[in-house]
Structure 1
Amino acid sequence: MDDRFNTIAGWTLFGGIVALGLSSLSGHYFLADKAHRPHEMGYVIEGVEEEAAAGGEAEVPLPNLLAAGDVAKGQAVFAKCKACHTADQGGASGIGPNLYGIVGKPIGKHVAGFAYSADLAGHGGNWDFANLDAWLKNPKAFAAGTKMSFAGLPKGEDRTNVILYLNS
């Protein structure tokens, strides 16, 4: 082989490597703010996205939450309620009624002499786990004319823990 051929081939190879390196370097410099990973990792599973968009996260059934609930955590979450309620046996009602022994009692009639709203007093039924869960999730949805201004507990675990605390 000719020495001149090797020189031309070497410079051509060197030029290609430099061009590749500069291309890569400029790509990192000018496109540094764009992510190199997809926004959502994984495979698309048909039907799952529509369900998530329609209802958000699937709600865990109340019996499953009750089985995993914790009375001590419920007492801690109940601290939010203590501004208006007590849960002591024989305790006086505050802005809201005393909640001791409320599970299983009639809705809107648990504490004699307490001024419940007409909607809550006329609701009917008893404070079972399902009704307490619905009430704690959104009191205004449970009884539209309620006097209680609390927005509710959005987390199912928090509601369940409070229910177990009130039942203890």
Structure 2
Amino acid sequence: MKFSGRIGPFIAVLTLVASIVSPGYAQDAGRGESVFKACAACHTTDDTNRVGPGLGGIIGKKAGAATGFRYSSAMKNSGIVWDEKTLDAFLESPQKAVPGTRMPYAGLKDTTDRADLIGYLATFK
């Protein structure tokens, strides 16, 4: 596509900026490990359940399905399969993402912290 006049360079710069600043999930798993420390009071990075379920291999798992953990009906019936998008929404606001969940957490509001945490959790297969 070719643009004439002054709009051409503007579109080119805008396209370049959008590709660099894309809100995708360019995570820093090392930083995510630090973010996870707040989660570690209730969760593990393996399949061991605590107050919350173990999060080992969470990417691709069905919500409410960890063996031996007593989930709310809301979580068991949510139909969620955990991926970057569903984890991001849940971590931002658990009660909004799954109304009726028992997770007593207000949410992780910082987008970068959530992305880094998801990147860290994704390292556990």
Partner of 2:89: 134
Q: Secondary structure of 1:80's partner?
A: coil
Q: Is contact 2:49-2:68 (8 Å) kept?
A: no
Matched, 1:107 2:73: no
Q: Tell me what 2:32 maps to.
A: 74
1:96 counterpart = 2:62: no
CA distance change for structure 1 residues 117 and 61 in 2, over 3 Å: closer, same or farther?
farther
Question: 2: distance between equivalents of 1:161 and 1:103?
Answer: 14
Counterpart of 1:86, as a letter, is: T
Distance 1:61 1:150 in 2: 28
Return the alpha-carbon distance in structure 2 between the equivalents of residues 154 and 107 of structure 1: 21
1:108 deviates by: 1.3
Question: Any stretches of 5+ residues in structure 1 without a counterpart?
Answer: 1-59
Report the count of equivalent residues.
103
Identify the residue that residue 124 of structure 1 maps to in structure 2: 79
Q: Is the 8 A contact 2:72 2:100 kept in 1?
A: yes
Structure 2 matches for 1:42-61, cutoff 5 A? Answer: none
TM-score using structure 1 length: 0.59
Gaps of 5+ in 2: 1-20
What is the identity percentage for the equivalent residue pairs of Structure 1 and Structure 2? 42
Deviation of residue 144 (structure 1)? 1.2
Go from structure 1 to structure 2 and tell me whether the alpha carbon gap of 1:134 and 1:113 turns closer, same or farther (over 3 Å shift): same
Structure showing the higher helix proportion among its residues? 1
Q: Which amino acid aligns with 2:41?
A: A
2:103 & 2:22 partners in 1: Cα distance? 26
Q: CA deviation at 1:61?
A: 5.8
Give the distance between the partners of 1:131 and 1:113, measured in 2 at CA: 22
Question: Matches of 2:62 and 2:90 in 1, distance apart?
Answer: 14
Q: Does 1:144 align with 2:99?
A: yes
Whole-angstrom distance in 2 between the partners of 1:166 and 1:97: 13
Alignment deviations for residues 51-110 of structure 1 (CA, whole Å, 9 cap, x no partner): xxxxxxxxx8641xx12x20011000000001100003x5x210000001000111111x
Give RMSD over aligned pairs.
1.4
